[in-house]
Amino acid sequence: MWFGGLDANFAPFANMSDATMRELAYDTDGRYTADLTPRDARFNDGKLVTAEAGSYLPSAWGLRDMHGNAWEWVRSKYAPYPYADDDGRNADGAAGPRVVRGGSWRDRPKRCRSAYRLSYPAWRRVFNVGFRVVAED
């Protein structure tokens, strides 16, 4: 993480699974039910689910929201490592599941890194996955 190790206080820097996740365990009548969501309850980033872009402090490079908040779809289709740029994973229209990176509000720091990836079929709607618009010069 740009702000420290996996055990560092992420609250000022990113939206990840924290003390607020306990709120998801409320039943409709206000009682707590089974609490099965992993979290780091030592910290509270102030949001239960997604936060507005720019809600947290920027890195030394001026980048914001690079960890957590919402997994982000990337161009690559999911393929096993080792990575090879010429193996077709980045080809336009490549068939197969797509990669998401960056973690979400529902994940602890270990999963909120660009090196950690999951895959989903491109057609699937996932409650904690979004996208980042990139404008190239």
pLDDT at 28 over 90: no
The answer to whether 40 and 108 have CB atoms below 8 angstroms apart is yes
**How far apart, in whole angstroms, are the C-alpha atoms of residue 126 and residue 112?**
16
Q: What pTM does this model have? A: 0.84
93-114 per-position pLDDT tens digit: 888 999 999 999 999 999 999 8
Amino acid, res. 82: P
What is the average per-residue pLDDT within 21-43?
A: 77
Opening angle at CA 21, ends 54 and 118, nearest 5: 70
41-83 per-position pLDDT tens digit: 999 999 999 999 899 999 999 988 889 999 999 888 999 889 8
Q: What pLDDT band is residue 27 in, cutting at 50, 70 and 90?
A: low
What mean pLDDT, rounded, does the chain reach? 89
